[in-house]
Chain A
């Protein structure tokens, strides 16, 4: 398996624009996590899915953020409208189970909002 695949690797957008980040989890994994990483706040869990169902979205910072998982092999994180403070590296991770199993991370998407 190629691991968790995220796209794009880098995204530069203007404030106010919509941004969509994409993730393909490892085949067979049924949990998917979206994290945001910044120098100030470290790795923050935004939302996680189990069997395509959002379980906990308490980490989503604002209504401008939304995430979907239409099927077991694809998830998106959308920011609309984007703001400069959203600039960060966004990671997607997947794991086999819901509890006590290794989470595998993608390479991340570096988002810059100017």
Chain B
């Protein structure tokens, strides 16, 4: 079945440093890849997404890259701040019209 893998499971960085989270997906027909941030006690919230016709997308301090040949996509957060601490999920829409989430990355930004 469809699968999304995500690494690392935990990530700790110093404030101001960059954080990178990497994901792979299995359904070659997937063409939409959202990233969600989940803060404690809340539901996941979309922070950025990328579609198959785009290789890279940036929004202020966050950027995503997509390599459909390798079935890889990544989230990059630059100049990290303590409020970036949360669990981040990558996801992929499958050819069966449903969103499959990766297992999540717990990011801690140390002041």
In the docked arrangement, what's the CA distance between A31 and B97, Å?
10
Contact: A100 with B31, CB < 8 Å? yes
Check B42 for interface membership: any CB of A closer than 8 A: yes
Most A Cβ at <10 Å: residue of B45, B100, B101, B103 = B101
Within 8 A of B (CB), among A67-108: 91, 93, 98-108
Interchain Cβ contacts within 8 Å, total number:
54
The count of chain A contact residues (Cβ–Cβ below 8 Å) is: 24
Knowing A48-B98, A55-B97, A56-B96 are in contact, say whether A100-B51 is a contact too (CB < 8 A).
yes
Check B99 for interface membership: any CB of A closer than 8 A: yes
Contact: B101 with A42, CB < 8 Å? yes
Contact: B101 with A106, CB < 8 Å? no
In the docked arrangement, what's the CA distance between A99 and B96, Å?
9
Contact: A43 with B104, CB < 8 Å? yes
Q: Which of B31, B42, B46 contacts A107 (CB 8 A)?
A: B42
Chain B proximity of A80: nearest CB distance (Å): 25
Residues of A within 8 A of B46 (CB): 102-104
30 A-B contact pairs sorted by A residue (CB < 8 Å): A33-B99, A42-B89, A42-B101, A42-B102, A42-B103, A42-B104, A43-B101, A43-B104, A45-B99, A45-B101, A48-B97, A48-B98, A50-B97, A55-B97, A91-B44, A93-B43, A98-B97, A99-B93, A100-B32, A100-B51, A102-B49, A103-B46, A103-B99, A105-B36, A105-B44, A105-B45, A107-B42, A107-B43, A108-B42, A108-B43
Chain B contact residues, CB within 8 Å of chain A: 31-32, 34, 36, 41-46, 49, 51, 89, 93, 96-104
